[in-house]
Amino acid sequence: MNIVDWNALDAETRNALLQRPAQAQNAERAQAVARIIAQVAQEGDAALKRWTAQLDGCELDALAVPGEAFDVAEASLDVALKKAIADARARIEAFHRAAAPQPVRVETAPGVVCERVLRPVTRVGLYVPAGTAPLPSTALMLGVPAQLAGCREVVLCTPPRADGSVDLAVLYAARLCGIERVFRLGGAQAIAAMALGTESVPRCDKLFGPGNGWVTEAKQQVSAVPGGPAIDMPAGPSEVLVIADADADPCFVAADLLSQAEHGPDSQVLLLTDAREQADAVVAEVERQVARLPRADTARKALSASRVIRVASLAQAVEVSNAYAPEHLILNVADPRALLAQIDSAGSIFLGAWSPESVGDYCSGTNHVLPTYGHARAWSGVSVASFQKQITVQELSGDGLRGIGACAVTLAEAEGLEAHAQAVRLRLAALEATA
């Protein structure tokens, strides 16, 4: 990891320094994804099975995971792992239940009642990756808020292994969230199946879940199709930005950087520090720790596009972080809450030395499906609200319309919309006639 001095750089170099790793072959990948989507639209299950055989090396007779596989998963998993999954689920539920939107009813004027009512998205499709590592935690992060929102139908797709099975922990997590329809599908073909519907996979109203560049590209393409599904957010490779002061333990900082670097070769990690000694110590510690990782090769590839940036102050570190808008932001400083109020853009924030990003990935209770690639400037992570529609309602009495009708007429006339004004005038006249 190279160390650079932020204040020695011009504006153009600073901007380049904060760029995410270029996603290779974007144009080619977009064309390939479009081809997969078109084939799924035309051929349904046949295309899904063909692509699964080609990309996952797995010949499938049926796409759905059989019901008995859930029983096998529950019986086979280690007791400690099952308890960890259940404990994580309970904390995720506690946080998401408390943070869920609530109905609203307000009388905005005498006789004018405005409400907000909540309705679940009817059918949702969840994507749980399993590329280089299966992610039962993602099944929880998506399944729990979907369950709390009351979605009537939840479909989950996760890539199969070569023998046609799927990860047992993913199945167990899905069952804990009440999910019974799981399909052995991965990549762009899984997204196409849930977006378009096939003989086996139902068409979904909204799609959720992280994934690689192929999954992200497929989500964006199907969401642009007329009548296509909504998606949770644009999301790319995982990333973390750490702000550390001179007192931060470089062992902790290095471990946090590596916890994201091991996700994939296109992940990115950044360290911002106002202490030269800290920068040197973290670089040395990263080299020491990465050598012991089972996924060292993956982490090293990610580190090649990562940065250690020396800044003049923690305030400047916050400015740089807001410009980058990281998926995960760790404030490993003596007084992290002093910086919190200045943070404008981040997917999820971790305060202090004892708050590793890993707990947010698994079991603190917040969600780990977060905006990446700078989208945290405008997007938020998945929550119960992501699985709900917020519908406004208004009800006026006759006196209520008398009270605000003239306001509506005046504004309609100002906009040149005579029919709008007339819809109110007719009613006001009828009220006047019966007074």
pLDDT for residue 136: 95
**pLDDT at residue 23 is higher than 70:** no
Helices (H), 134-177: 136-149, 168-176
96 belongs to an annotated ligand binding site: no
Structure tokens at 228: 């296509």
- The string of pLDDT tens digits covering residues 189-241 is 999 999 999 999 999 999 999 988 899 999 999 999 999 999 999 877 889 99
Residue 319 falls in the annotated catalytic set = no
What is residue 130's predicted lDDT score, i.e. its pLDDT? Answer: 85
Q: Where are the extended beta strands (E) located within 357-425?
A: 388-396
Average pLDDT score over residue span 255-267: 93
Reported as a pLDDT band with limits 50, 70 and 90, residue 27 is confident
The answer to whether residues 139 and 362 touch, using CB atoms and an 8 Å cutoff, is: no
Q: Does 361 appear as a known binding residue?
A: yes
Q: What is the mean pLDDT of residues 10-39?
A: 88
Of the residues 239, 285, 327, 357, which is catalytic? 327
Q: Is 375 annotated for ligand binding? A: no
pLDDT at 138 over 70: yes
Looking at the chain, the domain(s) classified CATH 3.40.50.1980 span 3-20+236-380, 44-100+119-232
Q: Exactly one of 96, 217, 285, 328 is catalytic; which is it?
A: 328
CA distance 322 to 377: 8
Report the mean per-residue pLDDT for the chain: 95
Q: CATH for 44-100+119-232?
A: 3.40.50.1980
Residue 244's pLDDT is what? Answer: 98
Per-residue model confidence as pLDDT tens digits over 103-117: 999 999 999 999 999
**Which pLDDT value is given to residue 25?**
54
Class of domain 3-20+236-380: alpha beta
The H helix count followed by the E strand count for the chain is 17, 14
212 marked as binding residue? yes
Question: Annotated catalytic, 328?
Answer: yes
Say whether pLDDT at 20 is over 90. Answer: no
Residue 172 assigned as binding residue: no
Tell whether 328 is in a known binding site: yes
Tell me the pTM.
0.94
In the prediction, which pLDDT does 132 show?
66
Measuring CA to CA, how many Å separate 212 from each of 129, 165, 174, 218, 391? Answer: 8, 21, 21, 10, 33
The pLDDT value recorded for residue 239 is: 94
- Model confidence at 22, pLDDT cuts 50, 70, 90, reads low
What's the mean pLDDT in 344-362? 97
> Could you tell me what percent of the chain has a pLDDT over 90?
91
